[in-house]
Chains A and B, each alone.
Chain A
């Protein structure tokens, strides 16, 4: 009995703590593999592989291709674990295991049965940002919010759990992040009045470990009113309800459909929350905490260490869900643990990721005009708040009034498409949108499972600029400055990849895979794939050879908003239709293209 007790307590010790699974961490450190969507826990999307470099990338050619069999927006990327590549698709969320030793022969295929009624409650296409590997399992979070663990060798279902209810608009588009013995899972549905949450499930059996809501009572949002901080100060009691009127927090939005990162030393996970529901700000007075917030939570318990709300009382649909990129960089001679985040609202934020201190907040697109700046004076009662320009405030202008010329548009200066970071240059490589909008909010009523939007938007390329709808930029996160910028005809909706070969890859909506010089932005290579790229570029090595892979398949918000081209209603009738339509360049697709250097 005594021996059993000792064994049991030892088990409790190892099972209870979520600190990084050493095996998974070493697989992430192995540049030959790509085992989670973000490449590593820091979300740097940087590979140490350098066989393909700035001098020879011009010789890149297609090594092999694979059709996914689904014609919808393809976000995310494949994984490579050992000799096997895992490829996912949009709804119905098929997963293929491909044998890299046998020309990509299909080892197994998993096709879930999902109720098609989930399709129309997915705002903006049935995209899925991919699977993750951990503990011999492939972890998939389906559109209908079923989280399923598949045996990586056979594709057999090990366990599954239902995370939400599509009947009230809860769906999923995001990937998941395995951390230690848990997997971190988000939820979509901010346009349906869903109350956002993050849930940790035990990888072993799918049982729930904890759930943290974005708003609601302290017990729901997992805060310690005294210890959890916002810009260095305790959040206090009822912080998730006292900036809402009545019960509005119950349909408050703040969904969690972006990317997740993790600092093993601090044992903290980082992510952002989305827009408050509805898009009509007059219907939800207050700061609407904790929508639009960067969150740092303990991976084991979900308890919040710190929050930072970037856009209190959103009036423009500037979801805060974009990725948090973790770096160690020198500031004033001291190495600091940083978190850099390119928000939809057009500001690039750099924070101390241990304390949540705000270090830099600067516009990463010069056209951003809805706020003059973010107040950086710690003694100001406005500290950390964007200083909103009344002309562009849809709240100030009121319901049923069309506020014009707001930059950026609701798509944000950047949407979920993740940026990359190179430790060699210390720069970030950021895919951006260069689009502005008119925004007219009006009253809507809430019906469970029905859209809860309440605003009319017109979007158009940023006026008085290069005429295109996107840029691909290099960003200095300490100075808060653009280092170089490549104008693009369409929004850049593809995740970037930086490599030790001194190059950065990204895809374009026309379908080009491009490689540019990391230092200068000079274009070194491009190839037009069969459909527009909204997937993320990844790299791996097999048999001593480096490969670069990307999914094509236009869609998502980009495919909806840009398919027919945009018009600027303020240009007068003559200019209508004058801007490029994506449908003139590309059509639906679903293909993986894998590149390598000639033998």
Chain B
């Protein structure tokens, strides 16, 4: 098993360009996505990373639903519908699985620039945009759920109710009543 892990890592290093394709086909580490506990309608992994929760009847957690809405308001115009990517910007449903949570947060907050002969990509810094920052974890869990296909394309059909705690947090963040 140890040998296999080493091999795997070597593969990732030498063929970086294929990571996303390989990543989409291989199974995702359950520790990255499995909800270990919930708090006021929000779900977290054992490592305290926000994650989604889909019940057997298809009901999804409120933050994932909220992420669906915010994604299609703030991210969609560059990254395409439902995290699928576009001719303009990468598929976030893949990024959410291949990027570390804290790196993901960092790129959204501070932006990232890739300008070279082959690329003209600039991710803006959303750090001072409350419409993004107040919903950053929601967007993250939504695109992660898209990455594993736990939430299919299209509008989520059933969702958990919005909890008072979430509502209060939202108002405090947006600075509105």
Minimal beta-carbon separation of B142 from chain A (angstroms): 11
Over the window 135-158 of chain B, the binary record of Cβ atoms lying under 8 Å from chain A Cβ atoms (1 yes, 0 no) is 000000000000000001111000
Q: Is the Cβ of A120 less than 8 Å from the Cβ of B124? A: yes
Q: Known contacts being A120-B124, A561-B81, is A576 close to B87, with CB within 8 Å? A: no
Q: Is the Cβ of B88 less than 8 Å from the Cβ of A440? A: no
Minimal beta-carbon separation of A499 from chain B (angstroms): 30
B128 within 8 A of A: yes
Over the window 63-76 of chain B, the binary record of Cβ atoms lying under 8 Å from chain A Cβ atoms (1 yes, 0 no) is 00000111011101
A116 interface neighbour in B79, B86, B120, B130, Cβ under 8 Å: B120
What total of chain B residues lie within 8 Å of the partner, measured CB to CB? 42
Q: Is the Cβ of A120 less than 8 Å from the Cβ of B123? A: yes
Which listed segment binds B: A386-394, A455-463, A465-473?
A455-463
Residues of B within 8 A of A453 (CB): 73-74, 77, 131
Q: Is the Cβ of A459 less than 8 Å from the Cβ of B131? A: no
- Complex Cα–Cα for A499 and B173 (A): 59
Q: Is the Cβ of B73 less than 8 Å from the Cβ of A455? A: yes
Minimal beta-carbon separation of B8 from chain A (angstroms): 28
A73 within 8 A of B: yes
Residues of A within 8 A of B154 (CB): 458, 567-569, 573, 576
Name the CB-closest residue of A to B93.
A564
Residues of A within 8 A of B130 (CB): 445, 447
Residues of A within 8 A of B22 (CB): none
Q: Is the Cβ of B69 less than 8 Å from the Cβ of A456? A: yes
Minimal beta-carbon separation of B79 from chain A (angstroms): 8
Minimal beta-carbon separation of A549 from chain B (angstroms): 22
Minimal beta-carbon separation of B122 from chain A (angstroms): 4
Residues of B within 8 A of A191 (CB): 77
Of B88, B111, B124, B129, most buried by chain A (CB within 10 Å of CB) is B88
Q: Is the Cβ of B73 less than 8 Å from the Cβ of A564? A: no
A91 within 8 A of B: yes
Q: Known contacts being A116-B113, A445-B174, A450-B129, is A563 close to B72, with CB within 8 Å? A: no
- Complex Cα–Cα for A563 and B85 (A): 7
Residues of A within 8 A of B121 (CB): 119
B3 within 8 A of A: no
Residues of B within 8 A of A144 (CB): none
Q: Which A residues form the contact surface with B (CB < 8 A)? A: 70-73, 91-92, 116-117, 119-121, 123-126, 191, 402, 438, 440, 442-445, 447, 450-451, 453-459, 554-555, 559-561, 563-569, 573, 576-577, 588
The 5 residue pairs across chains A and B that have the minimum distance between CB atoms: A559-B87, A564-B84, A120-B124, A569-B154, A560-B86
Beyond the given pairs A450-B126, A576-B152, 5 more chain A to chain B contacts, judged by CB atoms under 8 angstroms and listed by A's residue number, are A71-B120, A73-B88, A456-B73, A560-B79, A565-B84
Q: Can you report 17 A-B residue pairs in the complex whose CB atoms are below 8 A from each other?
A: A73-B88, A116-B120, A116-B122, A121-B124, A124-B78, A447-B128, A450-B126, A451-B77, A451-B129, A455-B73, A456-B69, A458-B72, A555-B87, A560-B76, A560-B80, A561-B80, A576-B153
Q: Which B residues form the contact surface with A (CB < 8 A)? A: 68-70, 72-74, 76-82, 84-89, 91, 111, 113, 115, 118, 120-124, 126, 128-132, 152-155, 174-176
